[in-house]
Amino acid sequence: MGNPISKALSIGLGHCIVCGAWAKLEMWDDGLNGRFCVECCDYVVDAEALLVRQRLVRPGPERKQEVNNT
């Protein structure tokens, strides 16, 4: 998950890859190769942070800056 989580270029209906709900999908994460709903955003961010702490993935640029600031 080296890329930051960001807004998708287009908003559309689809299945969330995290919870499977049919919803308006505004967010995406390139590392997951799919979109996820706003309700799952916190879980995805928390999971990414856990993987970075365990050094299973490299932090994206925003995480590197956050680590440098602490």
- What is the residue extent of each domain of the chain? 6-69
Q: How confident is the model at residue 9 (pLDDT cuts 50, 70, 90)?
A: confident
Residues 45, 37 contacting (CB under 8 angstroms): no
Report the pLDDT averaged over residues 46-63.
Answer: 77
Per-residue model confidence (pLDDT) at position 11: 80
Task: Supply 5's token pair.
Answer: 């989580």
pLDDT over 60 (residue 67)? no
* Strand ranges of the sheet holding 34-36, from the earlier edge strand across to the other edge: 6-15, 22-29, 34-36
